Amino acid sequence: MLPSKKLHSLEGLFHPKSVAIVGASSREPETGWAARLLDFGYSGHLYPVNPRAAEISGLKVYPTVRDIPGPVDYAIFNIPARFAPRAMEDCVAKGVKTVHLFTAGFSETGKEEAKKLEAQVITIAKDGDVRIIGPNCMGIYYPAAGLTFSPLFSQEPGNVSFVSQTGAGAMRFVPLANDRGIYFSKVISYGNAMNLDAPDFLDYLASDKETEIIACYIEGVKDGRRFLEAVRKCLMTKPVIILKAGLTESGADAAASHTASLAGAESVWDAFFKQTGAIPVNSLEEITDVILTLLRMPYPKGRRVGIMGRGGGLGVIATDICEWAGLKVPPFLPETIRQLEEVIPEAGSGVRNPVEGPGGINGTADFYAKALKMVDADPQIDFILIHIGVDIYGGHQPDLLEQLMKVAEVLASTARTLTKPMAVVLYAGEYLETVAAVFEARKRLLKAGIPVYPTIEAATKAVSLLIRYYESAEKR
C-alpha cells in the first residue's frame, strides 16, 4: 500500500524545518514559546512574530508572518482569538502548512460570536489549504525533533505516543510517565479539533514506526465511524489505550464546555471497547499503569496470581482486590507450601497463597531470594504479585533505604531467573523518608525491567487489562 497523501502531510507536521511563533512574548521572553523551543534543542528556523518587538530570545522578530524571508512549515498562534482570522490570512498568503492554535476562546466558550469566529478561521484555513491543530490546546511534543510545549518533559525519545484533547492533562501526564520510565515518541494536544481530529492522528500513528503503544484522552468524536476505523487500524499492530472522558451525563456537559465536544452515551462506548479491543481506562494514572505493564510485563499464561508480601491481613485484602479485578488466587501445590514453610520460620505466617514475608525489613531480601523461585516453580501460578508496605517503617528505620535497596537488588537479580512475570507494589505512605526510599527502589526495579505500582488496585487493574488486551488480540 502506498502511503496516502494525508499520511505525508502529517509526517511533515512532526518535522517542520521552520516554525513561526505568532504573538511571541516580548514581556516574558524567557518563558515564551520561542525560548522553550530553543532550550529544548529545536534546530530548525525559528521566527518570532510580533509587531511591537525587534528581538526576542536573541532572535530577529517579524511584524507579520508575511514578512518572514524563508518558507514557514509550522506556526504557533499565541494571540487573542479575535486576531486569529487576520493571522490565518497571513499564513495562507505565506503558504504555511500547519497552524497550532494555542489560542483559546472559540466554540468551547459556548458563545455565539466565538463560534462565528471559529467558523471564520476554519474557512480561511480550509480555503487556503492550512491544517489546524486546536484551538485551545498545547500542540506537539516530539522530543526527537526538539518540539515541546513544556520545559518539564524529558528530552529522551521513546516508543509511546499520546493523542490528547486535554492540554493540562498532558502537562500532568508526561512527567508522571517519564518518572516511571515511560518515554514518548509523539504527544499531540489537539483541543477543540477544529480541523485535525483524533482519527487523523491515529491514522498517522497506526503506521508510524516510532510508535509502539498509543494512548488517547478523548472527550468527543465528530465522526464516530472514522474514529472506530482509525482505532481498528492501530490495533492491528499495536495496543491502544483510551481514556474516554465525559462518559457520565455531567461529564458530557463538562466536555462540551471544555472542548465543545459531543461526548456520547456510556453504553455506546462500552460496546466500542468490547468490539475493538481498545483498552479502557478512567484516569491519567491508569494510562501510566497500563503503559508500564505493556512495556515491562510479558503476557502471563493466565490469570492465576501468587501473592507475596508482609502481613496476613494485608494478604487477605490483596486477595480480594485481585479477585475483584478478575484475577484468581489459587492455593499453592502442597510441595510449594512445604518448601515455603522451610524458609518462613515465623509462626502465624501464611504459606498457602498469599505467602507472608518476614515482619521486619531486615529479613525481607533473604526471604525473596529464597521464596520467589518456589512460587515461580508452582504450576498453579501464572504470575507473581509482590506487595511491600514501605510505609510501615515510617521514617523510623535508620537504614531503611539501604535495606530496601537490598530487597530491590534481590528482586532485580532473581527476576532474570524466573519463568513467570512479576509485578511489584511499593506503598510509599505518608513519610518523606519512605517516599524517598520508594522512589530509589522503584528506579532500580524499573531499570531491571520490573513494573512497579503505587497500590495493589493499580497493579491488578493494569495486569487484568493487559491479559484482556492479549486475549482480544488473539481473537483478531
Instruction: Enter the C-alpha cell of residue 237.
Output: 499492530
- Taking the CA atoms of residue 231, residue 213, residue 285 and residue 174 in that order, the dihedral angle to the nearest 10 degrees is -110
339 binds a copy of itself (CB under 8 A): no
- Number of residues lying near a copy of itself (CB under 8 A): 87
Transcribe 194-234 into DSSP letters.
Answer: SSS-HHHHHHHHHT-TT-SEEEEEES--S-HHHHHHHHHHH
Nearest alpha carbon to residue 220 among 282, 271, 263, 255: 263
When binding is defined by CB under 8 A, the residue of 353, 403, 414, 472 that contacts a copy of itself is 353
Smaller CB separation from a copy of itself, 4 or 362: 362
Binder among 39, 179, 366, 409 for a copy of itself (CB under 8 A): 179
- Using the rule CB under 8 A, give the single segment among 34-42, 328-336, 413-421, 445-453 that binds a copy of itself: 328-336
Residue span binding a copy of itself (CB under 8 A) among the ranges 36-44, 52-60, 326-334, 362-370: 326-334
* Dihedral sign computed on CA atoms, order 363, 366, 369, 372: negative
DSSP 363: T
CB of 66 to a copy of itself, least distance (A): 25
| Interacting residues with a copy of itself between 2 and 61 (CB under 8 A) | none
Residues 70-109 that bind a copy of itself (CB under 8 A): 80-81, 103-105, 108-109
| Residues linked to residue 243 through DSSP beta bridges, in sequence order | 217, 281
- Classify 152 as helix, strand or coil: coil
Distances (CA, A) of 39 to 15, 140, 154, 173, 313: 17, 15, 12, 21, 51
The DSSP result for 84-144, as a single string, is HHHHHHHHHHHT-SEEEE----SGGG--HHHHHHHHHHHHHHHHTT-EEE-SSS-EEEBGG
Residue from 53, 317, 377, 473 touching a copy of itself (CB under 8 A): that is: 317
Span near a copy of itself by CB under 8 A; candidates 35-43, 141-149, 352-360, 412-420: 352-360
Smallest distance from a copy of itself to CB 419, Å: 23
Amino acid at site 223: D
Q: How far is the CB of 99 from a copy of itself (least distance, A)?
A: 16
By beta-carbon proximity to a copy of itself, the closer residue of 35 and 235 is 35
Among 1, 2, 70, 313, interactor with a copy of itself by CB under 8 A: 313
For a copy of itself, which stretch binds (CB under 8 A), given 140-148, 174-182, 204-212, 231-239? 174-182
Contact between 254 and a copy of itself by CB under 8 A: the answer reads: yes
Of the candidates 55, 253, 270, 335, which one interacts with a copy of itself according to CB under 8 A?
253
In the complex, minimum distance from the CB of residue 391 to a copy of itself, in angstroms, rounded to a whole number: 6
Site for a copy of itself in 120-149 (CB under 8 A): 135-136
Min dist. Cβ of residue 236 to a copy of itself (A): 28
Q: CA-CA-CA-CA torsion for 392, 393, 396, 399, nearest 10 degrees?
A: -170
Vertex 431 angle, CA 426 and 433, to 5°:
80
> How far is the first Cα of the chain from the last one, in angstroms, to the nearest whole number?
21
Cβ-based nearer residue to a copy of itself, 16 or 191: 191
The binder of a copy of itself chosen from 30, 156, 342, 430 (CB under 8 A):
430
- Angle in degrees, 0-180, between the axes of helices 334-343 and 364-377, rounded to the nearest 10: 170
Q: In angstroms, give the least distance from the CB of 7 to a copy of itself.
A: 27
CB of 425 to a copy of itself, least distance (A): 12
Q: Does the footprint of a copy of itself cover residue 423 (CB under 8 A)?
A: no
Near a copy of itself in 218-247, by CB under 8 A = 219, 243, 245-247
Output 41 or 175, the one with its CB closest to a copy of itself. Answer: 175
Where does 305-397 have alpha helices with state H? Answer: 312-324, 334-343, 364-377
Position among 143, 158, 167, 277 found at the interface with a copy of itself (CB under 8 A): 167
The CA distance from 14 to 320, in Å, is 46
Nearer to a copy of itself, 57 or 288 (CB): 288
> What's the closest the beta carbon of residue 68 comes to a copy of itself, in angstroms?
26
Q: Which three cell numbers stand for residue 400?
A: 531503611
Task: Pick between residue 92 and residue 385 the one whose CB is nearest to a copy of itself.
Answer: 385
User: Which of the ranges 36-44, 201-209, 340-348, 468-476 carries the binding residues for a copy of itself, by CB under 8 A?
Assistant: 340-348
Residue 71 Ramachandran class (φ > 0 left, ψ -120 to 50 alpha, else beta): beta
What is the rounded distance in angstroms from the CA atom of residue 147 to the CA atom of residue 198?
A: 20
Q: Which one of residues 41, 71, 331, 379 is an interface residue with a copy of itself (CB under 8 A)?
A: 331
Match 460570536 to its residue by C-alpha cell.
Answer: 113
Pairing of strands 55-56, 59-60: antiparallel
Binding status of residue 319 toward a copy of itself by CB under 8 A: yes
